[in-house]
Structures are given as C-alpha cells and as structure tokens.
Structure 1
C-alpha cells in the first residue's frame, strides 16, 4: 500500500483577527496623536505667555476707591467702629488712613496727620524762603499711628511724629494689618516699619 503525501495548506488569518489588529493600531495611532497635540498646545501656551510681558505701569488704581472698599469690607466683617475711634475722614487739611479692623476683629488701626501751611521749616515756592507767621505747627496728640483694643477699649499710639532738625515732620501712614497682632506703617522718607502688639516692638 502506497503512502499518499498529504499537502498541508497554509493557514490564513481569519477576518476577525485582522480586524482586531487594525482597530488596535488605529487606537494606538489616535492616542499618540492626541498626546502630541496636547504637548504642542501646552508648549505654545507657555511660549505666548512669555512673549506677552505683564505691563502694569499704565494701570491706574484709584486710592480713594480702594480705601473705601477696604473700609466697607472691614465694617461688613467686624461691625461698626466704636465711638472711641475717629471717623474715616475728618476733612480739612487732615489725612486719615483707616480705620481698619484686624483679621480677628479684636483691634482697630488708623493713622492721622494734620497738614496746613504753618509747618516749621516750610518754604514758599515763589520766594524760596521760610514762611513767616503763623507760628510753627505743634504736633498734637491726635497725630500718629494708633491701635484700639476692643476688649480693654485702650488706644495706643504706636508711632509718634518726630520733628527733624530742619523743622520738617516725620509722620506715619498706616499701610495694613500683617496679622492679628502686627501692623505695617510707612514713615515719610524713612521706609516701612512693622509694629507687634504682643512684643510692643517696632522692626
């Protein structure tokens, strides 16, 4: 009996397997494409932000509007100011910064200085010479930087205006509360200082 050689036919992939492979390749290509697009957009956004400088030199801030907003926010958060605290704007030649509640509503800070033409050492711009009488202005007890404590109802003057050798006055202007126990204020031509209510020290 002769042996018959049986030729084995090559196996061909079924349509289902080919379809699955194609779907996988498409998904892989799509994922890579999305990742590339996302990376490009992120790079482009950073590039644009670097090309456009933040120019705030021409932005004008209305200091009066800002002060009123701070005043309203402070009263809304902590309530009205007690009668021991001066009104926000006395008018005339006086300047008041504040009053402003501290973050914990336990203290109120403000500053006051009184202007006018009677400062000792002031100069007439037309004649470039010291102004004559009225007499040189005296520093009053109302001028300086103050803090009112709600519990004790005590008012502390944390900065007293100083008269310089040339007759001018170094007055303080309240800036802001740094935290519940510290305020920042500026003294003209001398810089900004911080006063701590707990340690009673100025830095």
Structure 2
C-alpha cells in the first residue's frame, strides 16, 4: 500500500512573525559569521604556526645538513688517518715479519749446529763410558785376582804362624814343665810342698 500523502495546510504568515524569522536568521547569520571568523582565525593561526614550523624545520634541516657535511668531512679525515695508520702498521709489521723470519732462519742454523755438536758429545760420552766400564772391569778383575792372591798368602801365613805357634807352644810347655819340675825339686829339697805355695 502506498503511503498516504500529507496534506499541507496553507496558513498565511503574519508580517510580525516573518519579521521575527528574519531577525532570527540575521542573528544566526551573525553567529555563523562569528563562528566562521573564529574558524578563519584558527586556520590563520594554524597556517602561521605551520609556516613557522616550516621555517624552523628548514633551518633545522640546514643545520642537520651542515652537521652531516661536517660529520662526513670528519669521517673522511678519520678514514684517511686510519688508512695512513694502517699502511704504517702494515709496513712496520712487514719489516718485523722479515726480521723475525731472518732470526728464525739463523736460529734454525744454530739449532742444527747445536744438535750436531750434541750428537758428537753423546758419541764421545758413550765411547768414554765404554772405555771407563772396560777399565773398571779390568781393575775389578785385577782386584779380584789380588784378593784371591792375598787371601792365599794370608792363609799360608796364618797356617805357617799357627804351626810356628804350635811348635813354640810345645817348646814352652816342655820348657815350663822342665822348669816346674826343677822348682818342685828345689822346693822339696828345702822341705816345702809346692801345692801349699
């Protein structure tokens, strides 16, 4: 179903009402103008602020570009100085390496000579030890022979001494027995008993 159409009631406006409407519209217009002026003023302030910010940003950008330029120059200077130092160090290091290689070569030669001398000394020491061991063995053998000879001489001497002592003892015993008998006889002549004395 189609909607019902509203019927407009036509009423005639009074001239007083239309004056009020006009005044109302005027006040609204003034209000709108004031709002628009405020809006324009805000926009102007924003534009001024934006322009000020733009000027400030341009100034800061120039400062940053100058700073960047200085830093690039400093970087180039530092880079140049580091390159120079690197080349100097590389030259010094190369000369030091050559000098150390020369020293190593000399030390290797000295080491070879020392090892040769050491081998010779070792061979001589081994030869001396062999000769010393041979001399010691020879002396030990002579000492053993001398010991055996001395032992034999000592035994022979002791045997001879023992037999001589035995003979001497026998003689002394015989002599002492004879002397004893003589003294006993003398004592008994005097009337003394030898066992009492």
TM-score greater than 0.5 by the shorter chain: no
Pick 1 or 2: higher relative contact order, CA cutoff 8 A, min separation 6. Answer: 1
More helix by share: 2
What band does the TM-score fall into relative to the shorter chain?
under 0.3
